[in-house]
Chain A
Amino acid sequence: MRRRAFTAASFVALAAMLLTAGAARGDEPAPTRAPAAQPQPQPRLQVQPQPQPQPQPQLQPNPAFEAQAQVELLAMRVFLRDAVRERGPLALAESDPAALAARALAHARAYAAASAEHRDFERAVAALIACLAGDDDDLDPAVEALRRLPKALPLPSFRVSLCLAHAYRRRGMLPQALFFAEKALVLAPQSLEARRLKRAILAGLEARR
C-alpha cells in the first residue's frame, strides 16, 4: 500500500515535471540564427553590385591549339571508319566510350609519328595537340617524332616549339620544356601563351631547387 502510494506519487511528479519542461520549451522563443547571420545594414561599398568579371584580353590568339578539335574529330572519324569496316555499325554502338577515346588517342599518336616522317608538320602538330588535350600519358612516340621536325623544316616553327614545350612539361621534363618555350618566345615574342608557359616552367624549376 505504501509502495503503491509512492509509485503513484512518483508518477504524478514525473508527469508534472515533463509537463513543466514541455511548457517551458514551448515558451521559449523559436531558435534564432546567430546575430552575425541576420541581415545587417551593409556599407555602401558592399551594396554596390560587383563588377562583372571581364574576359582576359588575349594579346594573341592561341594558334597552336586552334586545330585541336579538328584533329580530335579526325582521329575519331578514322577510328570510327576502321571500326565500322572491321566490326560493323552495330558492334560499334556497343563500344565503351573510354575505349573509343583511348583508340582515338592511339590514332592521334600514330598520326604524329607518320606525319613527322612525311614532314607534314601541320598534321603532326595537331596530332600532338590531340594527344595533349586527350590527357594522353604515352606522349613519347608523338614527342619523339615531332621533336625532329624543327630541324627538318626550312623555317623554325612557333607551333612545333610551343607544342613540344607543353608536352615536355606534361612529362615533368622541365629543362627540355624550357628550351622549347624559349624558342617559341623568340619566334613570337608577343605570344601570351608562350610567356605563361615559360613562367610556369621557371616556377617549376625554382621549386625543385
Chain B
Amino acid sequence: MGYGQTKNSCLDCHAALPDRLGVTQEKFSQDIHAQKGLTCVSCHGGDPDSDDPDKAMSPKAGWKGKIERKQIPQLCGSCHSDPAYIRQFNPSLRTDQLGQYHTSVHGKRLAAGDAKVAVCTDCHGVHDLRAPSDPRSTVNPVNVANTCARCHADANYMKGYSIPTDQFAKYSLSVHHQALMVRGDLSAPTCPTCHGNHGAAPPGIDKVQNVCSNCHAFQDQMYEKSLHKAAFQAASLPGCVVCHGNHAISYPTDAKLGTGPDAVCMRCHTPGDKCDQARANILADLVQLDQAIKGADRLLGLAESSGMEVSEARLAQDQARDSLTKARVTIHSFRTDLVDQDIQAGLKIAAKNLKAGKEAMVERARRRAGLGVSLIAIGMVLVGLRLYIKKIES
C-alpha cells in the first residue's frame, strides 16, 4: 500500500503540472495520509521508484490512474473498513463509514448510477485531506455546513433532485448556527448532527423526535407524556418540526405560546377551545414568573449598587431562573399541572429574593437615616467647638 515507502517520483512531475493534475509536495504534506506515511501509490498504484513516467504509470506496476468517482468509496473503504489496518494509526477511528455510506441517499444514488452525488473526496477533499478535528478541515464542525452547502445550496447543481436549496441559508439564521459560530460551541448541531455524515439522509417524519432528543432529552421526555405525540403521529406530522421548524430553528421565546406573529399553537387550535385556554394559562404563568424574577433582579440590583450585601439572594435568583427554564421544558408535556409545579417553585424563590431585596432597601434607608442623625450630631459638635474657640480666644 505504499506505507513506509521512501522515494516518491510522482510528486516530482505532478508538482509542476497545472491545476487538475498538479499536486505539490507542500500541499500533499498537509494530508493526514501523507503524515501517516502513505503516498500516491497507496491510492493510485504505480511504481514511485522509477523516474520514467511510462514505467511509473504502467498498468503492470499496478497503476490505476485517476480513480473513477463511483470507485472512490470502495477505494477509501479498502482501508477505512479494515479495523486491523486502521487500528495501527488510530484505534478509536470508526471503520463503518463505507457501510453507512451505502445506506445514505448519496450512496444509494451512486449505486443507481448517479455520479453527481457526493463521494468521500467531495466532502473530505483530496491530496490535502485533514483530520476532522483540524479547524482547516472541510468536515470540521465549523466548516461542514459550508461543505454540504457547496452542492445543496447550488440551485443549478441540485436541479432535478426536487429538494429545496435554501437549507444553508435557513440554518445560517438558526439558533444552532449562532451557538456554533457566535458562541463557538463545537457541540452545537450542524448538518451531520441531524442527518448523519456518511449515512446522510433526511431523518424521516416519524423519527424527527429521536434526532432532536439526542440533545434535548428532557423536552423529549415531556413530549412523550403529551397528547401531541399521538396526534402528530396520527396526522403524519414531523414532531418537533411542527412548532420549531427544521433548518431555521429560532430561539424559542414565550411568544410561541401567544397569539402574535410568532405564535405556533393557534396554527392548529381554535381560539377559545380547551387547548387554547390551557395555552393562555401556561403563557400567563410563564410571564408571571418571568416578571417576578425580573422584579427581584431589579430590586436586588438597586440594593447591590447601593453597596448592600445581597449576594446570597442574587445567587438564589439562578434557582428561580432554573425553575423558569424547567417550566419552559415542561411545556412540551402540554400539561398545565406539571408546568404549574415548576412555576410555583420559581415564584416561591423569586418572592423570597424579592423580600431579601426589600429588606436590603429598608436597611439602606435605615443606614441613611442613621447617617443623617450622625451628621447632625457632628455638625452640632463642630458648631459647639467653634463657639468654644471663639469664647476662649475672646
A and B co-occur in one complex: no
